Amino acid sequence: MKIKVCYILWFALSLGLASCELDNYEAPDSSLKGRIVYNGEPINVGYDQVYFELWEPGWQEKSPINVVVDQDGSFSALLFNANYKLIIPASQGPFISNPNDATQSDTILVNLNGNQTLDIEVTPYYMIRNPQFSVSGRTVSANFGLEKIITDANAKDVERVSLYVNKTYFVDLGNNIAATNINGGDIADMNNISLSVEAPAITPAQNYVFARVGVKISGVEDMIFSPIEKVQIQ
């Protein structure tokens, strides 16, 4: 019985020491931040929809660190100092990754040693140009143009354009209280697109909403958006 009790005590002590060793590991304290951009202009995307991967060579467990891109195209991650391979999966984003000179591929080498800012240049299928928002009563209207960026064999058509309105700053296909669409085939003038939608009653009441327009590209899951605009309603 004494032997069994001693074994239990030794086992508990071992677990405690192991826990202390784990707790003594330093937390990551270097930041990698930046934006997904086209010619320096941020690519606006849906909330929690687009991410890229950071791979750290040499680790036995081959699993990446996923870094989520914010609605305004920005990103931020707290990491350990190390050499990383940055990869945007082919299924991610309303854009095509650009070839990197150093790797001769779409992989970007990141040597993180302290805080670093990195803008990732990509080529979007389309860009939303000159979005203008106006309000009449509770009706929110948007006027904007579309520029087709990719025109070669990788070009894609517009499936639809949409106007989204929400009571919070998170605005997209899955986060809205009102939305309206135009099918791509019904767009008469790509330089002059207009959409309007009425904001419903909000409880508790507020005299503003957040709006943005988005473009769904045929065969591409993620939409590209305009910046989010706060507008006053009655």
Q: Which fold has domain 126-232?
A: Immunoglobulin-like (2.60.40)
Residues of CATH 2.60.40.1120 domain(s) within the chain?
30-124
Q: What is the pLDDT of residue 3?
A: 44
| Class of the domain covering 30-124 | mainly beta
DSSP result, 164-203: EEESSS--BTTB-SEEEEEEGGG-S-TT-EEEEEEPPP-S
Query: Is it the case that residue 25 has pLDDT exceeding 90?
Result: no
Q: Is 16 helix (H, G, I), strand (E, B) or coil?
A: helix
Nearest residue to 164 via CA among 152, 153, 177: 177
Residues of CATH 2.60.40.2060 domain(s) within the chain?
126-232
Instruction: Please check whether residue 214 is in contact with residue 224, taking contact to mean a CB–CB distance below 8 angstroms.
Output: yes
**Confidence band for 57, pLDDT divided at 50, 70 and 90:** confident
pLDDT tens digits along 127-166:
999 999 999 999 999 999 999 999 999 999 999 999 999 9
Q: Which two tokens stand for residue 178?
A: 């009102």
Q: Which two tokens stand for residue 82?
A: 């190390």
pLDDT tens digits along 176-204:
999 999 999 999 999 999 999 999 999 99
**Confidence band for 61, pLDDT divided at 50, 70 and 90:** low
Percent of the chain at pLDDT exceeding 90: 82
Instruction: Please check whether residue 52 is in contact with residue 67, taking contact to mean a CB–CB distance below 8 angstroms.
Output: yes
Q: Which two tokens stand for residue 64?
A: 């990446």
Q: What is the pLDDT of residue 102?
A: 86
Give CA–CA dist 229/195, Å, rounded. 15
Give the gyration radius of the chain's Cα atoms: 24
Query: Is it the case that residue 15 has pLDDT exceeding 70?
Result: no
